Amino acid sequence: MTRATILYGGHEYVVARSESDVRDEVDVIVAGGGGWLRVNHGRGRLQVAHLYVDRGTPIAVVDTTEPE
Q: Within 10 A of 62 (CB to CB), how many other CB atoms are there? A: 14
User: What mean pLDDT is predicted for residues 38-47?
Assistant: 89
Phi, psi values for residue 32, rounded to 5°:
-85, 5
43 — pLDDT class (breaks 50, 70, 90) = confident
Identity of the residue numbered 56: G
User: What mean pLDDT is predicted for residues 33-48?
Assistant: 92
The fraction of the chain above a pLDDT of 90, given in percent, is 87
Domain boundaries, the chain: 4-63
Q: Within 10 A of 41 (CB to CB), how many other CB atoms are there? A: 16
